[in-house]
């Protein structure tokens, strides 16, 4: 882990490792400079540390200003906003699938992005000999119609409400209200719900 203080400035660079975070902080996102914009707010983890992009150095490197005191932990989520590169996500989950094949997990949790994308994502895990049970993660506000479709989808054995991601992607004071709504609709469809992360906070 790496401690940071408000108003400190750091370079962040696409990569998986560095010997010195003061030189640059590695981010496991390719072409980081092409996927960010000036003055964009980025959060790490469940919003514990916020960063402001103050300069785009090149296609792999950005300069950020720390917005609050905190600790950046290894392999924490790097939240650049909910609009994700779907091709990148598919490739990332294909890689995860290949790396964990030998484990034959009983369950695999995948994020809900949108129906067409998730149909593609499901194929990655369901075209296997042992076919793990799928848990669908709700990380953002979605329509009642899509939530009902998720509850009716027999491929999803459980719904996981990711409160940490929700608190980053929607106003955090609305997380409890959205959680209640998901639970109510899921209960109507007899779908198991797991309420996860940031319960006390």
pLDDT tens string 133-148: 999 999 888 999 999 9
Tell me the Cα Rg of the chain.
18
Of the chain, the percentage scoring pLDDT greater than 70 comes to 97
For residue 134, what pLDDT is reported? 95
Taking residues 40-50, what's their average pLDDT? 86
For residue 84, what pLDDT is reported? 57
For residue 81, what pLDDT is reported? 65
Question: Does an H or E element contain 81, and which?
Answer: none
For residue 107, what pLDDT is reported? 93
Whether the predicted pLDDT of 27 surpasses 80: yes
Q: Which residues contact 42 (CB under 8 A, 6 or more apart)?
A: 36, 50, 51, 52, 53, 64, 78, 79, 80
Question: Does an H or E element contain 189, and which?
Answer: none
Buried-exposed string 83-105: b where 16+ CB fall within 10 A, e elsewhere = eeeeeebbeebeeebeeeeeeee
Taking residues 143-166, what's their average pLDDT? 93
**Predicted confidence (pLDDT) per residue in 67-85, tens digit:** 999 998 887 878 776 455 6
Q: Which residues contact 77 (CB under 8 A, 6 or more apart)?
A: 44, 45, 46, 165
**Predicted confidence (pLDDT) per residue in 169-184, tens digit:** 888 889 999 999 999 9
Pick the most confident of 23-27, 90-94, 97-101, 159-163.
159-163
- Does the predicted TM-score (pTM) go above 0.85? no
**Predicted confidence (pLDDT) per residue in 105-130, tens digit:** 899 999 998 899 999 999 998 876 77
Structure tokens at 80: 């650049």
Q: Which of 1-10, 90-99, 181-190 has the lowest mean pLDDT?
A: 90-99
Nearest CA to 160 among 183, 184, 126? Answer: 183
Higher local confidence (pLDDT), 198 or 64: 64
For residue 85, what pLDDT is reported? 67
pLDDT band at 62 (very low <50, low <70, confident <90, very high): very high
**DSSP for residue 173:** G
């Amino acid at each position: 882990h790496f401690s940071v203080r408000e108003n400190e400035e750091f370079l962040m660079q696409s990569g998986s490792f560095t010997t010195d975070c003061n030189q640059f902080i590695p981010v496991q996102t390719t072409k980081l400079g092409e996927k960010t914009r000036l003055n964009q707010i980025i959060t790490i983890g469940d919003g514990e540390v916020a960063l402001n992009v103050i300069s785009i150095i090149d296609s792999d490197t950005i300069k950020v200003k720390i917005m609050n005191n905190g600790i950046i932990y290894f392999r924490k989520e790097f939240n650049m906003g909910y609009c994700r590169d779907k091709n990148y996500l598919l490739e990332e989950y294909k890689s995860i699938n290949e790396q964990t094949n030998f484990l034959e997990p009983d369950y695999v949790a995948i994020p809900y992005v949108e129906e067409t994308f998730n149909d593609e994502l499901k194929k990655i895990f369901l075209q296997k000999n042992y076919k793990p049970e799928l848990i669908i993660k709700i990380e953002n506000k979605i329509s009642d119609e899509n939530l009902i479709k998720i509850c009716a989808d027999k491929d999803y054995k459980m719904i996981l409400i990711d409160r940490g991601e929700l608190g980053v992607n929607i106003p955090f004071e609305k997380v409890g209200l959205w959680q209640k709504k998901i639970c109510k609709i899921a209960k109507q469809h007899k779908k198991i719900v797991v309420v996860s992360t940031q319960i006390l906070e």
